[in-house]
Amino acid sequence: MQAYMIIDAGACVEQLEEAWKAAWNFLNSKDSKVRKASARTLSILVSCSPPSLGETTVVRPQNSPIMSKIISQVIKALENVAYAHSTPELLAIISSLIIGMRGRGSRTASEAAEVLLLPLVSKVGELRAHKNFEFKEAADTTLGVAMQILGPEVLLQILPLDLEPEQR
């Protein structure tokens, strides 16, 4: 897919959507090895997206809805009880999305990554704040990736610090 992206980015995006749908179906498997393989596949697909995909999605969402669909699908899965056993894999996919959408050299791409990924990062922060959340280490890893890529200023704007005792 990476070579395909270099040769024909438009056709690659179309194939990316089909490949994403096929791999996503395995994320809900009862077998943890299948879920992990699905998450790895989805992470690889994110790395194969053209650098301009994020910018295009923010500037002209009607021209490139795939990234919006992917992010929306991941958020819905985080909120869906049916995917509860897939939470560590979903967090790994979110980390890959954050890494895949990083600035890639241009300020516009960095801003696009922020616009597209803040709802995901916010949702991870919400989950992490729950006392009974079972996958805090995986969430911490994802939030650490977000801190590295998006920067502390962006993260601190959307995540509560919980410094006051009544906020804990």
Start-end of H helices in the chain: 2-7, 9-24, 32-47, 53-59, 66-79, 87-100, 107-129, 136-150, 152-158
Q: How far apart are CA 120 and CA 69, in angstroms?
A: 12
Which pLDDT score is estimated for 131? 86
Predicted confidence band of residue 107 (pLDDT cuts 50, 70, 90): low
**Looking at the predicted structure, is the pLDDT value of residue 19 above 70?**
yes
Provide the pLDDT for residue 159: 84
pLDDT confidence band for 58 (50 / 70 / 90): very low
Instruction: Read off the pLDDT band of 3 (50, 70, 90).
Output: confident
Mean pLDDT of the chain: 82
Q: How far apart are CA 103 and CA 164, in angstroms?
A: 34
pTM for the model stands at: 0.84
Q: Please state the rounded mean pLDDT for residues 146-161.
A: 85
Domain edges within the chain: 2-159
Q: What is the mean pLDDT of residues 85-91?
A: 95
Residue 34's nearest CA partner among 42, 45, 24, 26 is: 26
pLDDT for residue 13 is more than 90: no
pLDDT reading at 30 higher than 90: yes
In the predicted structure, residue 62 carries a pLDDT above the cut 70? no
